[in-house]
Structure 1
Amino acid sequence: MIPTLPIQISCPSCGHKYAAQVQSIVDVSQNPELKSALLRGQLNVVTCPACGTPAMVSAPLLYHDPAKSLLLLFVPPELNLPLPERERLTGQLVNALMSVVPAENRKGYFLNPRSVLTMQGLIDEVLKADGVTPEMLEKQRSRTRLIQDLLAQLDDQARLDELIEQHKPELDYPFLLTLTATLEGAAASGQKLLAEKLLRLRDLLVERTGVVLPEPLPFDTPQEEVLKRALAFKEKESLWAFVLYNRPLLDYTFFQALTERIEKAAPEEAAALTQRRSDLLEMTARLDKEAEEAQRAKLALLQQILSSSDPAKTLRDNKQEIDTFFLAMLGAALRTAEKEKRPEDVKRLQMVNELALQVLQDNLPPELRLVNELLAAAYPEGTRQILAERRKELNPDLPEILTALAEDLQGQGRPEAAQKLRDVRSQAEELLKGGGEILTARS
C-alpha cells in the first residue's frame, strides 16, 4: 500500500492553516479507485476543517498503470523547481513506487517516466491509453447537444415528445450516464436551477424509455447501508442503475470498506465480492470517462475559438456547445492566465468570455433575458423602469423564477446579487398586482 503524504494547507477562503494528506503516487494495480478520483477531478481535494471550503492541492504526482506500461510524472509549474531539484524529486517518487512493486514487475520504463506539463495533459494521456478516440469524443458531443435540445423543449410537451420519439434509440444507458454526470456537475457548481431541470429531464426520460432505476440514496446514507445495497443487485443492469444514481457515494472510502470485507471473507464469498468490486470499478470508470470526455470536448472548443481569426463567428457556429460547463472552463483558463501574469492571454480570454455571454444572452428564453437586464440595471429606479416598460411581456411566473434564481445565486456565494433579485421580485409582484398601472418609486 502506498501511503499518503502530509502537507500544510492554507485555506483560500478563510486563511486557516491545517495539515492534509495527499496522494503523490497513483498505482492503478494497487489503488484502482484513485484513477477514478483523478478522472473526476477529485484526487487530492481537501476540505478546510474551519470553514468547510474544498480545495484541490496542486502537488507532484506520479501515475503508474503497469497493464499499459504507463508511467507519467506531473510537477506543477508553479513550484518552479530548478532542474537538479526536479530530478531529485523524480528519483524519490520513482524509488517510493519501486519499493512497493515486486522485483519481477519492475520494468525499464521505471527509469524514464514521461513528463506532462499540466494535470489536464496527464488525464489526456491516461484516457489515450484507455483507447479514447476522436470518434468517441464526437459521440459524447452528440449526447451533450441532445441534452441541450431536450432541455430547451422541457416546457413544450409536444415538441419534447417529438424529440424523444425521434432520438429514442440514442436514449440508452450511456446517454443517461452523461445526463447524470451533467446533473452532478451543475449541482456541484451551485447551478441549482439547472440541476433541477436536468433532474426533471432524467426522471421523465427514465419513465418514457422504460429504463428501471433505483431511487437515489441520501448523501448522508451510512456507508454500511451503501455497501449492502451495492452487493444486493443480481443483474448487471440493476447494478448500472444503482451506480448511475449513487455515483457520489461510491468514493474512495466505499471501495476501502469493500476491500476490507473481501479480505475477511471466506474464499467463495471473497471471489464473488472481488467480481462485484471489479464490476463497480468498471462502471464508475465508465461514468467518469463520460464526464471527462465532455470536459475534453469543451476544452477543444475553447482552443478552437482562441485560435480563430473570427472568435465571434466560431462561437455563434457552436452556440449549442456554449453552456455553464464551457464558461467554467473558460473562467479557469482566465484565472490561470491572470495568476501567471500573461496579459495578452488575459485580454483575449476576457474578450471570448464577453462574446460567449452575449451568445448565451441571445439564445436565452425571453424571461431569462429580462432577468439579466434587471441584474445589470440600477435598483430600484432602473429595475422599476424596465419592469414598467416590459409590463405586457411579464410572465405571471416571473416572481417564482426570480425566487429560484436568487436561491441559485445565494448557493454560488453571490449574496448581493441574490438579494437584488429578491428585491426585484417584490417590485414585479407589486407591478403584476397593479393590473398594468405603472407604479412610481416611493420616496
Structure 2
Amino acid sequence: MPISYQEQANLTCPNCGADVVTAIWLILDAQEQPMAVEALQRGELNRVVCPQCGEGGPAGAPLLFHDGAARLVIFAVAPGMAEHEWRDQARDLHALLVGSIPEEQRRPYLADVDIAQDLAGVARHLARQQRRRAAPPAEPQPVDTPAVPPLLVAVTALLEAGSPDDLQRVLADHPVLLESATDLTLAQLADVAVEQRAYDVAESLQQARQVLGQMGQVHPPIPSETELPAAALRALMQARTPAEVQALVQRHPLLLHPQVDRLLAEEIDHALDSGHDRLAAALEERRETLVVLRGGEQSISVDLEAALEALLCAQGEAAIAEVLDRYPFLLDDIAAQALDQFVAEARASGDEELARDATDCRAMLRRIRDELAG
C-alpha cells in the first residue's frame, strides 16, 4: 500500500476566473516520490498553472511529509488556516499516514510531528538536514587530564607531613600555603564539603587550616599595607565567636590597626563579587567585632577569661556582686556569647558539672540584665 497520497482539487484561477482541476500532494513519502521531494526543495511542489491564462501560484493546500530513513514527519500548514482547522487536518492526514504503514514497521518517531508554517519551511528543514549529513564528522578532541590544582597538591603534602622537618619542607616547597587567601579558600572548600556530606574531606581541610595557623604563629609574617598577615587572617577566620576574636587580638595586636579594617573591607567585597556570600558574612561579623575592640573595649578581651573564671568560682551573692563590680562587662552580650561557647565546650569534653555551673551563671546574668533593664 503506497504511503504518498494525492487528491484531485477543483480550483478557480484568481486571475481569469477559469476552473482548474489538478492533482495535489497531501502526503508525500520521501522514499516513494524522490522527484516530488526535489520539486518541494525547488519550491515547485503543489504549484498550479492556469491552462487559460498561464498564471501560476501555490495551491494553498496542507502537506504531511514523511521520511522513514531520517525518521522524520513534518506537517506544513495551509496558508490562512485557523489553528483549530489545521490541527484537524494534521490529525486526519497523520491517521492516513500511520494507517498506510504496516503495523510491524511503525516506529515511535511517527508520533513526533514537526510543524512548518508552509512548504518553504519544510524545504528549509530538509536543506539543514542535508548540510548536516554532508558535513564531515568532527574529529574527537583529545581529552586532557585536568591538572591537579597546586593548592590541593600542597594541602595533601601538608597532611602527609610526619614531623616538624617535613612541615618545614612542605612550606618551603609550597609557599602558597602561607598566603592570606589560602585560609579563605580552605574555609570555603570545607563548607562545600559539609554541604555535600563529604565530612572526611571537610575534617581534613579544617585540620590543614589548624596546622597552617600554628605554623603562621611560629613564622609571623611581616605586616603589609596591602595584604592582611596570613597567620592573623587564618586565625581570624577560625575564631567562631566574638570572645575568640577578642582573645585572638592578644596574640595578633596588629588586627587593631585601622589599616586592617580597610583590608577586611576589600576581602569582603572580593568575596561578594565572587559569589561567596557566606564567607563575606563571616568576615563582616569578625570585622564588626574588631571595630568594637578598636573603639576602646580592648580591655574586655584581656580580662574576659579571668572574669568568667572568677564568676564560675564565686560562691554566694556577695562574691558574685564583687565579681560584677570588678568586671562590669560580664553583663554585656559578649560575655553571654562567651558563656554559650564555654557551655558547649564543657559538654563536648564530657564535663557536665562545669556545663551546669556555666549554664546557671548565664541564666543569672540574664536575670540581672533584665532587672537592670526593667
TM superposition score category, shorter chain reference: 0.3 to 0.5
The higher-RCO structure (CA 8 Å, 6+ apart) is 1
Q: Higher Cα Rg: structure 1 or 2?
A: 2
Give the TM-score taking structure 2 as reference length.
0.33
